[in-house]
Amino acid sequence: MSRFAVLGSPIAHSLSPVIHQAFAKEAKLSITFEKILTPAGALKQTLDAFKVNGGQGACVTLPLKVEAFELCDHLTLAAKTAKAVNTLFWQAGKLWGDNTDGEGLLGYLQNDLGLVLEGRRILILGAGGATRGILDPLLKAGVQNIVIVNRTLTKAQALCTNPHITAYDYDTFNRSNELPFYLVINATSCSLQDALPPLEPEWVKGAYTVDLAYKQKQETLFQQWANKQGALLAEDGLGMLVWQAALGFKLWHHFLPHVKPVIQQLRQGAFQDADQ
């Protein structure tokens, strides 16, 4: 039986195991998929132990995506561009890293939500591994420009590798004369801590919003806040999670599962008894 896992901190809330088990059922594969609590700085030790005990591949989530990038022997083009990794596997004893976040987000935004990104202005909150993974795919989708806002300005500025990307800290951005945005993406970890980024309400009013975090049984705090401020749409990251997981599953098993049935089952609470 093939052994896989998701690594991160926090990790108890992760739905990755039930998602991959649903994919495996469709593909008629027998796998195990576990959650392994892995704090920052402990990824190499955890991966080494996981491999010795039969691990074949792993997903990584907050706060490990940049750490995973630095550990890999080989990287896909998507991972090299993002400088962050969310999917790992071993081949000929070497650790490979890929990043399916960006393509997963695009699949969700365009196919499930029906958003048209070409020529649009996008606001991204946060400058961590999640943001790194989605920048290049958004640019390739033809967005007009992307504004990144982060508590630490230098971290956001480090991602401005394209003339269509601009960086601010929150104080400066909230006082800026930037034009309205079509889409606001919360790529911070605030929702996992039941907190909100220090963003003024005007920036989500009349915009589509997506929180990359998710809660299976209720809206995230950011979703609740965005709805109250007049957002056109306030979605969580569940759809993106399933889309990027499907791309990772294809990388491991050479089988692309159907995404929509799993998203629907999750929305309907089909896996509500899963360990969260």
Sheet bearing 94-98, strands edge to edge: 31-37, 2-8, 55-60, 87-91, 94-98, 74-75
- From 28, 44, 65, 215, active-site residue: 65
The answer to whether 65 is a known catalytic residue is yes
* 3-class SS letters over the chain: CEEEEEEECCCCCCCHHHHHHHHHHHHCCCEEEEEEECCCCCHHHHHHHHHHCCEEEEEECCCCHHHHHHHCCEECHHHHHHCCCCEEEEECCEEEEECCHHHHHHHHHHHHCCCCCCCCEEEEECCCHHHHHHHHHHHHCCCCEEEEECCCHHHHHCCCCCCCEEEECHHHHHCCCCCCCCEEEECCCHHHHCCCCCCCHHHCCCCEEEECCCCCCCCCHHHHHHHHCCCCEEECCHHHHHHHHHHHHHHHHCCCCCCHHHHHHHHCCCCCCCCC
Which residues carry out catalysis?
65
